[in-house]
Amino acid sequence: MNHLPMKSVFVAARNLLRSLLLAAVIFLSISSLRAHEGMWIPSTLQQLVIGDMQAAGLRLTAEQIYSINQSSLKDAIVHFGGGCTAEVLSDQGLILTNHHCGYSQIQSHSSVEQDYLKDGFWAMSKGAELPNPGLSATFVKRIEDVSESMLEAAGDLEGEQREIALGRRAATLIQEATQDNHYKAEIKPFFFGNAFYLIITEVFPDVRLVGAPPSSIGKFGGDTDNWEWPRHTGDFALFRIYAGKDNLPAAYSEENIPYTPEHSLPINMSGLKPGDFTMVFGFPGRTDQYLVSDAVAYVLEEANPMRKAMREASLGVIDRAMGQSDTLRIKYAAKQSRIANAHKKWIGQSQGLEQYNALEKKKAFEREFRELAAKSDVHEADLPDQLAKLYQDYADHSLSRDFLIEFYYYGPEVLRYASSFQKFVEGYDKLSEEGELKTEKEKLKQSVESHFKNYDIRVDRDILAAQAPIVVERCPEILRPEILTEMLQKHKGDAEAMARSFFARSVFADKDALINLFKKADKKIIKSIESDPAYLTALQILSKWQEKGAPEYRRFSEAEEQLMGRYVKAMMELFPDRIYWPDANSTLRITYGAMEGSEPRDGVEYLPYTTLDGVIRKYQPGHRDFDLPKRLIDLHREGDYGPYHTDGELRVCFLGSNHTTGGNSGSPALDADGYLVGLNFDRTWESTMSDIMFNPEICRNIMVDIKYVLFIVDKFANAGHLIAEMDLRYPEAGSELHEVREKVGSSEVLIPTSVKP
């Protein structure tokens, strides 16, 4: 193999990458079926895909979408809490996201007496808006390609030395970018370390709940309809960003004022037609489109079946409990939603990959790769085989990590809570020497109340009983806690008896016992905790992972990154007619397509939108997933849709051929002029495979129609004062700018109408 200086390699690779992407765009425009794949970095639109986007119907320039010199669409896009997306709707900092993205905040403000999950919440004045400690709203100020600097620092280094060099250079670049300003910054790798981007952000920590529909609207269809089509869910919630009097980020204070944004999204009141251009702008979480066949086989044969089994075990317990009382329903609402969402997704992902024959398609591509690479003097033909061996060698470590997530982080809460006492127990002497013991002990005392607020010992005990046999039987020895194995054996495999004994002996399952424990001398507290089964189990899991699992998994990740970097680079050079875009990594992206349905299976057709008529047809009084508020039923019976209908119909949700994933929840769906037309919240079940392999014929994202959102806010909730903040427009191609007055709620709103924002 020929070797070149690293900087020369980078320059050549960068130029090649750009030329290949441009070639791919030309190829894209030839094949409309492939035109919707990809999640594009907005700062690269001008060089890469803006021409194809405009050919597909976009009427904006790249500068109007992403600019650092003037207000642009990117200035209305918010990273909501780090896991979802939101968008700015008004010049008073009003933002829109999904109901499920704000679910934990809605739940945290709810009680049996004030059940905002069941009844909804609407602040009728800014003074009634509810603060949410820990929730932030982040704007991207600038995205800068720093690949040349980063790769120069890495040189020819490999493994840990390369990571250290990259880390040092990243720290320098971040310091330069954030010096003498209030911005934050991070550097993210793309294409497995073949490129790096510096992302400058502005983070607002004061975000308040403004409005949320009842769950019978915001979660209509529940787990039954999750990842399904047709969909009839009003999955939205409204929040507001607050800032200091200088309009800069500030911690929560009653003195803060609504944030004045650089851009807010106009709203299209005309509605879309099937085939109309759409784009989704947001923060997709993670995709793995370049995985080799052995990695896909691991997902299908090991990871997804294990995850499915673990989550079905806990969901069976939680679902039964939530049906027993309102108290348990409120306590476990957010937890159940988090667990159930991924569970059903993994089932659909596996089915989609198997139906689309993804494994064989990957293997066929790898055979083709080997043949072409063998004829090259530059590329390694055995890269797929090197990766296959890597996945095989580290299979137990990958499975152990997946078990760590499913059992420790999503399983019995008693384990995570018990482990929070580790610093006090193991670091007692150090805390005493440094004068921090009293502070640490007080923090733990205060944690008791907050932990038990949303905790039920019976539910947690039954989750342990349901999951422990799976852990003992299927978890690799690298992570498997001996205490569970021993206790199950002692109780002759009776998991319920084991769990009862486990919890009866644990102080962390009993609020009163824990409060009383703090009344004892410190040494007695420590002695009691050190023999506690929950504490011992948590420590066994964590210590095993830290001592055996994590170091090996880190080596695996570093080797995977290095091999995948070479593999993807070789792929781009050997197959220049394919589409190449960087995997999602929670950075700001654009994806585009059209409003369109699909035919995912023989004899099955997905129409492009649903209406309120379909909501009413699904209505089942008293049903957990399909009950409805009387107010909505009455509005439908009266046909009182206000200005929010489209050709006489009140549309609820619509499909698009936009390539989305987790993290795109809450992302704005925009039309050809950058007007807001919908709110992304889901994919069809078959489409969940798109995290690994995109199928343009069947992959569709699901969006709430923005006019349904406005209808619920105005006609259902009588919160027309919120509509009055928004910029409502009736764009019609070829029309001149004119004004329309609409009766919205109790206010008469002036609505400018134009083609361009």
Ramachandran quadrant class, 221 (left: phi over 0; alpha: psi -120 to 50; beta: rest): left
Contact 270, 371 (CB under 8 A): no
Residue 718 pLDDT: 96
HSE, side-chain direction, 13 A CA sphere, residue 277: 19
How far apart are the C-alpha atoms of 91 and 88, rounded to whole Å?
8
Q: What's the predicted TM-score (pTM) here?
A: 0.88
Query: Mean pLDDT for the chain?
Result: 91
Residue 377 pLDDT: 85
How far apart are the C-alpha atoms of 482 and 485, rounded to whole Å?
5
Q: Of 560, 575, 603, which marks where a domain is finished?
A: 560
Q: Of 560, 592, 608, which marks where a domain is finished?
A: 560
Better-predicted residue by pLDDT, 189 or 743: 189
Angle, vertex CA 601, rays to CA 652 and CA 692, nearest 5: 85
* Range of lowest pLDDT (342-346, 462-466, 530-534, 664-668): 342-346
Does some domain include residue 594?
yes
* Residue pLDDT, tens place only, 400-425: 999 999 999 999 999 999 999 999 99
Q: Would you say residue 747 has pLDDT above 80?
A: no
Q: Of 505, 525, 560, which marks where a domain is finished?
A: 560
pLDDT (average), residues 458-472? 97
Residues 720 and 617 in one domain: yes
Residue 24 pLDDT: 39
Bridge partners, residue 202, by sequence: 139
* Range of lowest pLDDT (2-16, 39-53, 197-211): 2-16
Does some domain include residue 255?
yes
Tell me which DSSP letter residue 476 carries: -
Q: Would you say residue 746 has pLDDT above 50?
A: no
**137-145 vs 121-122, strand pairing mode:** unpaired
What's the structural domain count of the chain? 2
Assign residue 741 the CATH number of its domain: 2.40.10.120
Q: Would you say residue 244 has pLDDT above 70?
A: yes
Residue count of the chain = 757
Does some domain include residue 195?
no
Q: Would you say residue 8 has pLDDT above 90?
A: no
How far apart are the C-alpha atoms of 391 and 388, rounded to whole Å?
5
- Residue 34: CB atoms within 10 A of its CB come to 16
* Residue pLDDT, tens place only, 254-297: 999 999 999 999 999 999 999 999 999 999 999 999 999 999 99
Given 235, 532, 671, 691, which residue is catalytic?
235
Bridge partners, residue 78, by sequence: 86
Q: Would you say residue 754 has pLDDT above 90?
A: no
Given 36, 100, 232, 636, which residue is catalytic?
100
Does some domain include residue 166?
no
Given 43, 293, 657, 665, which residue is catalytic?
665
* Residue pLDDT, tens place only, 571-602: 999 999 888 899 999 999 999 999 999 998 88
How far apart are the C-alpha atoms of 460 and 197, rounded to whole Å?
43
Does some domain include residue 5?
no
How far apart are the C-alpha atoms of 476 and 468, rounded to whole Å?
13
Q: Would you say residue 29 has pLDDT above 90?
A: no
Percentage of residues in the chain having pLDDT higher than 70: 92
- 17 — pLDDT class (breaks 50, 70, 90): very low
The H-assigned helical ranges of 436-549 are 437-453, 457-474, 482-490, 495-504, 511-517, 522-530, 533-544
Q: Cβ neighbours of residue 174 under 8 Å, at least 6 residues apart?
A: 185, 186, 187, 198
Q: Would you say residue 371 has pLDDT above 90?
A: yes
Residue 393 pLDDT: 96
How far apart are the C-alpha atoms of 72 and 39, rounded to whole Å?
19
Spell out a b/e string for 35-58, using b for 16 or more CB atoms within 10 Å of the CB, else e. bbbbbbbbbbbeebbbbbbeebeb
Spell out a b/e string for 637-651, using b for 16 or more CB atoms within 10 Å of the CB, else e. eeeebbbbbbeeebb
How far apart are the C-alpha atoms of 71 and 61, rounded to whole Å?
13
Residues 396 and 434 in one domain: yes
Question: What element of type H or E holds 169?
Answer: helix 159-178
- 227 — pLDDT class (breaks 50, 70, 90): very high
Q: Would you say residue 27 has pLDDT above 60?
A: no
Residue 22 pLDDT: 40
- Residue 216: CB atoms within 10 A of its CB come to 23
- Residue 560: CB atoms within 10 A of its CB come to 19
* Residue pLDDT, tens place only, 476-528: 999 999 999 999 999 999 999 999 999 999 999 999 999 999 999 999 999 99
How far apart are the C-alpha atoms of 276 and 751, rounded to whole Å?
23
- 232 — pLDDT class (breaks 50, 70, 90): very high
Task: Copy the structure tokens of residue 712.
Answer: 């619920």
Task: Copy the structure tokens of residue 642.
Answer: 């206000």
Instruction: Give the domain range for residue 253.
Output: 31-136+205-287+583-757
Residue type, 74: K
Residues 593 and 668 in one domain: yes
Contact 580, 194 (CB under 8 A): no
Question: What element of type H or E holds 419?
Answer: helix 413-419
Does some domain include residue 47?
yes
Contact 309, 371 (CB under 8 A): no
Bridge partners, residue 738, by sequence: 753
- 757 — pLDDT class (breaks 50, 70, 90): very low
Residues 89 and 115 in one domain: yes
**137-145 vs 195-204, strand pairing mode:** antiparallel
Q: Hey, what's the torsion of the CAs at 471, 475, 478, 484, to 10 degrees?
A: 20
- 26 — pLDDT class (breaks 50, 70, 90): very low
Residue 61 pLDDT: 96
| Chain centroid to CA 365 | 30
Sign of CA dihedral 280, 281, 286, 291: positive
Residues 393 and 249 in one domain: no
Residues 431 and 516 in one domain: yes
* 100 is known as an active-site residue: yes
Residue 739 pLDDT: 43
Cis ω before 230 (30° cut-off from 0): yes
Residues 477 and 622 in one domain: no
Q: Would you say residue 372 has pLDDT above 70?
A: yes
In whole angstroms, how far apart are CA 488 and each of 499, 524, 662? Answer: 9, 28, 37
Residues 504 and 651 in one domain: no
Contact 575, 18 (CB under 8 A): no
Residue type, 181: N
Does some domain include residue 572?
no
- 206 — pLDDT class (breaks 50, 70, 90): very high
Residue type, 187: I
Q: Would you say residue 25 has pLDDT above 70?
A: no
Residue 753 pLDDT: 40
HSE, side-chain direction, 13 A CA sphere, residue 213: 29
Does some domain include residue 185?
no
Contact 213, 99 (CB under 8 A): yes
Residues 339 and 455 in one domain: yes
Q: Would you say residue 32 has pLDDT above 60?
A: no
Residues 373 and 271 in one domain: no
* 665 is known as an active-site residue: yes
* Residue pLDDT, tens place only, 163-176: 999 999 999 999 99
3-state helix, strand, coil in the chain (%, to 5): 50, 15, 35
Residues 370 and 265 in one domain: no
Q: Would you say residue 35 has pLDDT above 70?
A: no
* Residue pLDDT, tens place only, 419-449: 999 999 999 999 999 999 999 999 999 999 9
Q: Would you say residue 1 has pLDDT above 90?
A: no
Residues 298 and 420 in one domain: yes
How far apart are the C-alpha atoms of 92 and 462, rounded to whole Å?
47
Q: Would you say residue 394 has pLDDT above 80?
A: yes
Residue 732 pLDDT: 64
